[in-house]
Amino acid sequence: MRVVVLLGLTLCCVLVCAQDDTKLSRSTVQVREEGLTKPRGEDEGVMSDEPIAEVVEEDKTKPKKKKTPEEIEAARAKKAAEKEAKAKKQKAPKPTKKPKPPKSTKKPKPPKPTKKPKTPKPTKTPKITTTTQLDIRRPSLDEEEEKLLIELGWDTLIRPVTPGREEPVEPDWDEVPGGYPDNIREVTTTEVIMYIPEETTAIPFVGPWYEEYDYADLAAKKQEEEEERARKEKAEKAERLRKKWEEEEEERLRQIAVPPEPKKCPPLGLESHRVEDDQLLASSQSHHGFVAQRGRLNMQGSDNEDDLYGGAWCAEPEEQNHWFEVDARREVEFSGVITQGRNSEQHEDFVSSYFVAFSNDSRDWTVLHDGYAEWLFYGNVDKDTPVMSQFNAPVVARYIRILPQSWNGSLCLRAEILACQLPSSHRSENEVNPSDDLDFRHHNYKDMRQMMKVINEECPHITRIYNIGKSSQGLKMYAMEISDNPGEHETGEPEFRYTAGLHGNEALGRELLLLLMQFLCKEYNDENPRVRRLVDGVRIHLVPSLNPDAYELAFEMGSEMGNWALGHWTEEGYDIFQNFPDLNSILWGAEDRGWIPRIVPNHHIPLPENTLNGSLAVETKAIISWMQRSPFVLGANLQGGEKLVAYPFDMQRPPVSLTDSRRWRVNSEMNEETWARIQRQNEGALRETPDDAMFRWLAMSYAHSHLTMTETYRGSCHGDDVTGGQGITNRASWKPVVGSMNDFSYLHTNCFELSIFLGCDKFPHESELPLEWENNREALLSFIEQVHRGIKGVVRDVEGNPLPNATVTVEGIRHDVRTAAGGDYWRLLNPGEYRVTAKADGYTPQTRLCMVGYDSGATPCSFTLAKSNWDRIKQIMSLNGRRPIRLVTRNNVVKTTTAAPTPTAGVDDHAIAQKAERLRRLRLMRLRRLRLQRQRASLTTTPATTTTTTTTTTTTPPPETERTTSWYDSWFPVDSWSTENPFDSINFDSVPTQDYPFEYTID
């Protein structure tokens, strides 16, 4: 029986080896190589056979696995006989000849578990035993290899040779000539590539590594996992769709519950006065100064609370039913109401709640209903801030009434109505179709900068963008230059400027200048002859925002929600227009003392010391520096709140004393014009400039070109018409201010500047911009063209070199101008004939007769000056203690000096008489001075010895005393009671190239 069992086991081994010959051989070789290359004792650096011994001892503990030596020997002999070559290949090398392990960098990646070679199905019982042992102690890889070799009967191949038993010895291929055979070399290479590294991760073991994988089960399992994943994704997608549907349903229900957004409509025009006075009615009025016509938004009252012009509509307190009615004159869509309190410094009067009613015939009224009751709107909580109330849906009607229900103080109201025009064949003021394709909207700082950049890109050959400085918050004050040669001043080409945004809430001027930039660029590209003539002949500077910080504040509140003062001042609290140095007082004080023009000039008055370090805004300093850099000839600043043009002086001159008035009355030589001027002084103040006629013409050129500025029959925006129907006024007689930009520009530079007030509404709605552009377009262009009115020219020396800072004087006008750096000048004058004199230091003055006609274009009037001997005279005076030159005459016979040329024979008797009169006046002044000195000397305790002098004898000089006045004060004495200018009676009509024919001596 035992022999039969042994034979059966032998047959099974033979069959298994015959079926998987190649597979088992490769696996065995791979395992053997792995075991030899990386034994367990590698970590300790010692070659050891302990794993094999442990496996043998473990097998001995298992009785059903143990084989007799005879059985093992029989199986080994039979196997060796059949496959001797394979046994030789698989024979392990001697322990002393351990091959070098392959480098770790060349180890191939371990194959995936699904790609392991199939192993025979586990039909043997040792599988169960091994699994049971795995649960207790996980066997190592070497132990599993030894178990497999023992089961296959190959354990004797790696056993050491024992004495008395001859084992087949594998030849040493390293010592054989020719090396390994080709087949052996290939197998070795394949085994190295397919090297399986030792596992280091703790993956739970289910069975031996050689167990065959069931790929069918894996495919089914993978398919199940994919189906499960698809089911989960489908369920998640369905859940997302369900949630999305629920959110959309909730949003739809929410939208149904929330009322639609109210319709946005522009103002009807109460603030801008498009709604006329007869369209406003009220139930009553408290007194004559608070009628319904005063109930306009931002209406300003007078300083006198009981004046005819109050700051709101105020109702009679005894009245029971109060209402304020507006007639739109046609059916419109009313969409809202804006209310405001009374403009007053003493009272806090405003309406806090009200109803709104509508009608189409002004008899039957319907109060607005919100679906439950009459809709009560809440009004103001203070008197200045506007409050807007919008309707859910616009109401179509012609008449609207505001029905006040509660109020603070007295019932006073200012209002604006929001309404959209219905489509109709009749033209309305709110339906203006402008002829120019421009961007009619409000621009904040970022939009303004972007628009200027776009215009510059469209017209790079005629435009240039620069900034004149920064605001207190760091925003740049951008300017655009429009000229045929931008960036350079051309000799003979005048410079013009428009500025806007001095007050941040006056936005109309800002938008008009941006529209003007677009218009000039487009029309120049379209070859408009008028625009091309302007651009080629004038260097135009446009500054849309001089106070960008305040504009951003007003822009944030919106067109209708900003009050009268919001954004008016800078961030530091300055009103830029009134923040310039006061040069008027310097000029008028010098005039009263007779210092004009010898001591203090009547033009380019220097700034007082430490002015720029005083209370000047950052923006003001930047504007002053900009004015000084460019030789502007004409300019205007655009403002709002009124509709007129104001020209300087903006400051009132204090009235003169009674002593001065008596002094003028006893003067028999005073003409009628001077007497009329003094009378105006006595009445109040001197307001006119020396160029008053020119300023009036400039103001009228804009006002009369404006489409509606001269329509003053309804009065001004807040009171009576102060322009006399002309649309122009003197600022000092209207609303005088100190340190204005206009006065500073006139007295410190050559520029004639005016203030243009564009309308009653400082911040009009966007829908009103096309109408305002149409009203102002022609006036803006016409005013620029006035820069060519008058004379122009260049002042040079005899060598042709330009003379900068030369003074150009016009006879009869006590305001001079200076030449620019290129020697060119421009003098604005009305048509007429003028005697013009050019003067420069070190040069003899020259006078010319210049004619100004009515044709367009300035009259050329240039000068060529020759050097004079004044430098030598100054040297002589400095050598003699800077004492004055005394004029000496002998028997009215004029002696000429050697340096002075002889008068020409063409001098007529009239000129001789004028010179004699001038000499007589100078002699009288000299005698008056000597008489005063004698009177003062007689009052002292120790009289000074003086010598009486005559005009024909020499004078013994008195003892010198310390002087407290300049030498020119002793030459032209000024009494404390005299306001007469000593140069009024001196006529400078001599030939310009001649000196005065006087003999001079040094005192």
Note if the bond before 122 is cis, omega within 30 degrees. no
The yes-or-no verdict on residue 943 having pLDDT over 70 is: no
Q: DSSP labels for 542-596?
A: EES-S-HHHHHHHHHH-TTTS-SSTT-S-TTS--GGG-S---HHHHHHHHHTT-T
pLDDT of residue 889: 55
**Tens digit of pLDDT for each residue in 807-822?**
999 999 999 999 999 9
**Tens digit of pLDDT for each residue in 215-237?**
677 888 888 889 999 999 999 99
Q: Could you tell me whether strands 791-797 and 859-860 are parallel, antiparallel, or unpaired per DSSP bridges?
A: parallel
Can you tell me whether residue 631 is helix, strand or coil? coil
Sign of CA dihedral 400, 405, 410, 414: negative
Q: How far apart, in whole angstroms, are the C-alpha atoms of residue 503 and residue 545?
A: 9
Half-sphere exposure of 456 (CA within 13 A, CB side): 15
The yes-or-no verdict on residue 825 having pLDDT over 90 is: yes
Nearest partner of 641 among 697, 579, 719, judged by Cα: 719
Instruction: List, in order, residues 6 or more apart from 409 with CB less than 8 Å away.
Output: 342, 347, 348, 349, 350
Reported pTM: 0.64
Lowest mean pLDDT of 53-62, 478-487, 490-499, name the range. 53-62
Higher pLDDT, 998 or 771: 771
**Cβ(292)–Cβ(282) below 8 Å:** yes
Backbone φ, ψ for residue 722 (5° rounding): -100, 0
Higher pLDDT, 937 or 26: 937
pLDDT of residue 598: 85
The yes-or-no verdict on residue 128 having pLDDT over 60 is: no
The yes-or-no verdict on residue 404 having pLDDT over 90 is: yes
Task: Find how far residue 971's CA is from the centre of its chain.
Answer: 58
Sign of CA dihedral 159, 161, 163, 168: positive
Q: How confident is the model at residue 262 (pLDDT cuts 50, 70, 90)?
A: confident
Q: How far apart, in whole angstroms, are the C-alpha atoms of residue 691 and residue 652?
A: 16
Give one word for 805, left, alpha or beta, with left for phi > 0 and alpha for psi -120 to 50: left
The overall average pLDDT reported for the chain is 77
Highest averaged pLDDT of the listed ranges 147-156, 282-291, 420-429 = 282-291
Q: How confident is the model at residue 890 (pLDDT cuts 50, 70, 90)?
A: low
Lowest mean pLDDT of 395-409, 605-619, 926-940, name the range. 926-940
Which run of H or E residues covers position 902?
A: none
Can you tell me whether residue 314 is helix, strand or coil? strand
Higher pLDDT, 190 or 215: 215
For residues 193-219, give the mean pLDDT.
56
Q: How confident is the model at residue 405 (pLDDT cuts 50, 70, 90)?
A: very high
Q: How confident is the model at residue 971 (pLDDT cuts 50, 70, 90)?
A: very low
Note if the bond before 649 is cis, omega within 30 degrees. yes
**Cβ(847)–Cβ(837) below 8 Å:** yes
Q: How far apart, in whole angstroms, are the C-alpha atoms of residue 172 and residue 184?
A: 12
pLDDT of residue 985: 39
Q: Spell 536-554 as b/e; 16+ CB within 10 A means b.
A: ebbbbbbbbbbbbbbbbbb
Q: How far apart, in whole angstroms, are the C-alpha atoms of residue 83 and residue 85?
A: 5
Lowest mean pLDDT of 86-95, 235-244, 876-885, name the range. 86-95
Q: DSSP labels for 218-252?
A: HHHHHHHHHHHHHHHHHHHHHHHHHHHHHHHHHHH
Classify burial at 764, counting beta carbons within 10 Å of its beta carbon; exposed 0-12, middle 13-18, buried 19 or more.
Answer: buried
Q: How confident is the model at residue 194 (pLDDT cuts 50, 70, 90)?
A: very low
What percent of the chain is predicted at pLDDT more than 90?
Answer: 48
Nearest partner of 82 among 136, 15, 174, judged by Cα: 15
Q: How far apart, in whole angstroms, are the C-alpha atoms of residue 900 and residue 132?
A: 142
Q: How far apart, in whole angstroms, are the C-alpha atoms of residue 540 and residue 531?
A: 12
**Cβ(627)–Cβ(747) below 8 Å:** no
Structure tokens at 348: 């806090």
Instruction: List, in order, residues 6 or more apart from 860 with CB less than 8 Å away.
Output: 791, 792, 793
DSSP 415: E
Higher pLDDT, 342 or 975: 342
